[in-house]
Amino acid sequence: EIGIRDYQTSHRTIQLPGLVNIAAFVPGLVSRDSDDLQRITKASVAAGFSMIRVMPVGKDGSISDVKSLKIAQQNGKRGAYCDFNLSIAATSDNASQISHAAGEVGSMFIPFNHLSDNISKVAAVEAHFDAWPTHKPIITDAWTNDLASILLLASLHNRRIHVTAVILKDDIKLIAMAKEKGLKVTCDVSIYALYLSQKDYPSCQFLPTAEDQAALWEHMETIDVFSIGSLPYQLAHFLNQPADVTVGIADALPLLLTSVAEGKLTIDDIKAKLHDNPKEIFELHDQVGTSLEVEIDRPYVKEDTGSWSPMTGKVLKASIQRVTFQDQVVCLDGSILPVPPRGNDMSTHVAMPPVAAISSPAV
């Protein structure tokens, strides 16, 4: 229907399945009694993300052993507003420990640029490849030569690898070439990296240059997944803006849908890169009774909501009308309803079937 406010253009209401943010940055992840995870799940579900994969690297520490994993799990028990899973981060010397945590996390993240010693990087990561269960996903944020190294290991070990937060032209080209040649590599791009560049924020090294950004758009078919990642938080920090832990989450879908309104993306791109592909790559559970309704083609100026966003004051052409989670409406016309937290820790969902289920007689 065309309503009274529809003076500028006709608009469309579109149904989408519950979306997945495969890289949710939770600053206080391993800080005792942090409510960051709860706040982020709340902002996520309101923004259409009914499932988040929590990055194992926080602001003040990482999930890198059983002890830090326990803290994150404990924080998860405060109540989450959407489903989530946890991962473990590889460090230079935890290859022997990660297998102990493997059953309780969704994937291993290799923060390649953070391993300390340059000389033995390949060797350190090789040990992790051998220690990690073959069926579980491996994710890395490696750039340039580090990316090439880890792709080589993946190639030689015949392992799937997911590259997160690609921003460089050469890297997306390398991934495109690797895919073309049959390597089992997938990748995501942070949504902000598609809309903000060093042209907007000079010398901001974790943003793409204008040239990099153009290459990302040109390689849209190479990009398997859109993510939120830590880029919004990093940008706020870089600009000395008071960074809310939920920064960037609310902007994600309106930005992408605005590109749909402008003919630069399709609804199928959104579905593929925020639902179908994340579910397939990370073997995520299906979320029944979960969906959202969005409206596109109605332009508005993004207002200041009290928490900083680089998008404030910009014209967006899409908004989220309704979010249904587990058959309950949790968000209506942008307002979060007073519902209890009903999300679950799904970390063990993709774990191997328990040994008992294999070894004991089935009938």
CA dist., res. 274 & res. 272, Å (int): 6
Window 278 to 317, contacts with its own copies (CB under 8 A): none
The minimum distance between CB 92 and its own copies, in angstroms, equals 13
Q: Which does 3 bind (CB under 5 to 8 A by kind): its own copies, Zn ion, none?
A: Zn ion
> Hey, which bits of 191-289 come out as E strands?
225-227
The minimum distance between CB 285 and Zn ion, in angstroms, equals 4
Q: Which does 349 bind (CB under 5 to 8 A by kind): its own copies, Zn ion, none?
A: Zn ion
Q: Which does 151 bind (CB under 5 to 8 A by kind): Zn ion, its own copies, none?
A: its own copies
| Pairing verdict, β 328-332 and 335-336 | antiparallel
Please give the full DSSP string across 71-135, using - where no structure is assigned: HHHHHHTT-BSSEEE--EE--TT-HHHHHHHGGGSS-EEE-GGG-S-STTHHHHHHHHHHHS-TT
Q: Which CB atom, from 207 or from 323, has the smaller least distance to its own copies?
A: 207
Output DSSP code: residue 345: B
Window 318 to 357, contacts with Zn ion (CB under 5 A): 349
Q: Which CB atom, from 73 or from 209, has the smaller least distance to its own copies?
A: 209
Output DSSP code: residue 143: -
C-alpha dist (Å) from residue 123 to 112, 130, 151: 12, 11, 14
Q: Which does 99 bind (CB under 5 to 8 A by kind): its own copies, Zn ion, none?
A: none
Lookup result for tokens 């993004």: 302
- The contact pattern for its own copies, residues 81-120, with x = CB under 8 A and - = no contact, is -------------------------------------xxx
Q: Which does 121 bind (CB under 5 to 8 A by kind): Zn ion, its own copies, none?
A: its own copies
Q: Which does 123 bind (CB under 5 to 8 A by kind): Zn ion, its own copies, none?
A: its own copies
CA dist., res. 236 & res. 247, Å (int): 8
319 has which bridge partners?
295
190 has which bridge partners?
227
CA dist., res. 59 & res. 117, Å (int): 21
| Residue 299 binds Zn ion (CB under 5 A) | no
Q: Which does 285 bind (CB under 5 to 8 A by kind): its own copies, Zn ion, none?
A: Zn ion
Window 119 to 178, contacts with its own copies (CB under 8 A): 119-123, 126, 144-149, 151-153, 155-158, 168, 170, 173-174, 177-178
| Alpha carbon 131 to its chain's center | 25
* Cβ-proximal residues to 103 (8 Å cutoff; 6+ apart), any chain: 348, 351, 352
The minimum distance between CB 348 and Zn ion, in angstroms, equals 8
Window 91 to 150, contacts with Zn ion (CB under 5 A): 130
Q: Which CB atom, from 17 or from 79, has the smaller least distance to Zn ion?
A: 17
Chain positions contacting its own copies, by CB under 8 A: 118-123, 126, 144-149, 151-153, 155-158, 168, 170, 173-174, 177-178, 181, 183
Chain positions contacting Zn ion, by CB under 5 A: 3, 17, 130, 285, 349
